[in-house]
Amino acid sequence: MSGVIDIPTPLALLPRAQAGDEQAMNQLLSGISPYVARLCRSIAHDDCADATQEALLAVYRGLRTLREPAAFYGWVRAVTVREAVRTVQRTGREGPYQRVDSWQETNPLDVVHISDVLDRLSTSHRQVLTLRTYGLNEVEMARVLSLPVGTVRSRLHRARARFREAWQPSAA
């Protein structure tokens, strides 16, 4: 015995949590909390704690409806993004939107500049651009934002145009 505690992954806990095992559910929610909080922070900013709580509650309530365990993280992401957007809409406060899960090396000054450009966009434009960076298509964005698909498409088109207008990276 090496004394190392073996902590099960959320995917390993999923079947037990879906079957009603409260300990497994608590461990599962604890395991995904940092992921959910990162997503909420990028969308709800100042209301991150409220959005995180709402998202975890929605995951708890809806977990038994998840049919495909391999889709767990995508499902959690969709639920979290939806709840974070609802929190922002409910509070009416705007916060800076930025993607927190960056898988590529970027120039820190570019990140600051991107954040500045996003801050100058309207809330509706930031929302569609942020949801797009999370990989949602127009239909998924329409569902999350409770808007017609055509409205989402036009907002996305305008948001991209406004972003391009404001994006003027400094020449080296």
Per-residue pLDDT of 15-62, as tens digits, reads 999 999 999 999 999 999 998 998 888 788 788 899 999 999 999 999
Mean pLDDT (the chain) is 80
Residue-level pLDDT at 32: 93
pLDDT of res. 141: 83
Look at residue 133 and tell me whether its pLDDT is greater than 60: yes
Counting beta carbons within 10 angstroms of the beta carbon of residue 114, is it exposed (0 to 12), middle (13 to 18) or buried (19 or more)?
middle
- Assign 108 to helix, strand or coil: helix
Distance CA 68, CA 32 (A): 17
Q: Is residue 13 within 8 Å of residue 63, measured between CB atoms?
A: no
What is the distance between the alpha carbons of residues 54 and 50, in angstroms, rounded to a whole number? Answer: 6
* Per-domain boundaries in the chain: 8-95, 99-172
Residues in the chain: 172
Evaluate whether the domain defined by 8-95 bears CATH number 1.10.287.110. Answer: no
List CB contacts of 13: < 8 A, sequence separation 6 or more.
24, 25, 27, 28, 31
Phi, psi of 40 (to 5 degrees): -65, -40
- Residues 26, 31: Cα–Cα separation, whole Å: 8
**Tokens 């100042």, residue located:** 46
Q: Would the pLDDT of 71 be above 80? A: yes
Cα Dmax for the chain: 61
User: 8-95 and 99-172: same fold?
Assistant: no
pLDDT at 118 over 60: yes
Domain covering 99-172: architecture: Orthogonal Bundle (1.10)
